[in-house]
Amino acid sequence: MKKCEAFIIGGSAGSLDVLLKILPLINAAIKFPIVIVIHRKHGTDSLLPDLLSSRTKLKVKEVDEKEPISAGTIYIAPSDYHLLIEQDRTFSLDYSEKINYSRPAIDVTFQTAAEVYKEKLACLLLSGSNSDGVNGLKSVKLWGGTALIQDPKTAQVAYMPAQAQANVKIDSVLSIEDIAEFINLLS
């Protein structure tokens, strides 16, 4: 792919374990932001930024409204808000209806990021139990970006990456062991 300007990871059931395995292996000198959109219940997992922060040398923070997106930072979508990427490369939080029973919805973040970063975007869909992220990956491909999935054979819940594999032209199917290496090679 052309120079990566944003890497977005979406996941649901079973994806936290993957993140905890790959974050320690990501190069602290990466030259793009990583945005994580995980399905989580409102009011729960408020310690998620601290938990992920303890696994990496990169700065980890929950997204704030209208915050500029900076390279070398891991951003986490807040629970109960859709996370949008604006044309000026800031974040926007939205409280509209749930999509695929989820808020934040992975589709929303993938789709809005695809329109901004185009061929310089890579999106990875991890373990999960619904089809959120599939339409988002279709948008990523439409705008020239790179669509990636966790190998369904290695996913705790294979449904989400398997749905993407069945419905989208995926660029790479990655084992858990290969994810961090793939990210590091983009930098």
CB atoms under 10 Å from CB of 77, counted, come to 28
Question: Which of 12, 127, 131, 139 does the annotation list as catalytic?
Answer: 12
12 is catalytic: yes
Side-chain half-sphere exposure of 170, counting CA atoms within 13 A: 20
102 is catalytic: no
Question: Which of 107, 127, 131, 132 does the annotation list as catalytic?
Answer: 132
CB atoms under 10 Å from CB of 90, counted, come to 16
Residue 104, preceding peptide bond in cis (omega within 30° of 0) = yes
SS3 10: strand
CB 16 within 8 A of CB 41: no
132 is catalytic: yes
Cα angle for residues 12, 17, 18 (degrees, 5° grid): 80
**Which amino acid does the sequence have at 125?**
L
Residue numbers annotated as active site: 12, 39, 132
